[in-house]
Amino acid sequence: MRWISSEKVSDECMIERLIMEATTIFYNFLYSFGKNLNHYVLLSRLKLNKGAIRSYTSQEK
């Protein structure tokens, strides 16, 4: 009886550990995805700004 209860506790600990690992992996994925997305947005903004500056300078000429 005691052995069964200890096995149950170890299973619960394993499940908790798995959940913790899964959440950390998920958060790391979200963080890296967000960073990549932010980088892409910044790049597109820079490209847009360069295009706007070019068109503005060409209009001045």
pLDDT at res. 3: 54
Q: What is the DSSP letter of 1?
A: -
pLDDT at res. 1: 47
Its pTM stands at: 0.45
| pLDDT, greater one: 41 or 17 | 17
Q: What percent of the chain has pLDDT over 70?
A: 70
The domain segmentation of the chain, as residue ranges, is 14-60
Cα separation, 10 vs 18, whole angstroms: 12
pLDDT > 50? residue 24: yes
| pLDDT, greater one: 7 or 42 | 42
33: CB partners within 8 A, 6+ apart: none
